[in-house]
Amino acid sequence: MTAALNCNLFLEKVHFIQKALSAERNGFMLQIMSDDRLLTIKELAERLQYSADWIWTQVRAGRLPAIRFNRRAWRFHWPTVLAALQQMQ
């Protein structure tokens, strides 16, 4: 499977998760930031107020989704990360 196809499948799943998370649950509406820009590890660490090492540990364990473009370029989609964090609770 090509990297472009993997990326497209990932983004389709992201949009599905966004719709599911925006549904009303127990009388409360979950608010998701509409930031579709992909984040670097540094940007994600700043938003989560966690260290980059913690994030890498979660990515390696399969708990946080990441997009790998090459050996050094990793990116994170904010709404997908939020969904993964909610599942970790």
pLDDT digits (tens, 9 = 90+) for 59-69: 999 999 999 98
Q: Domain spans of the chain? A: 3-88
Picking from 45, 17, 50, the residue whose alpha carbon sits closest to that of residue 32 is 17
The pLDDT tens digits of the residues spanning 12-30 come to 665 655 555 554 444 444 4
Q: Between vectors from CA 87 to CA 3 and to CA 44, what angle results, nearest 5°?
A: 55
Check residue 71 and give its pLDDT: 84
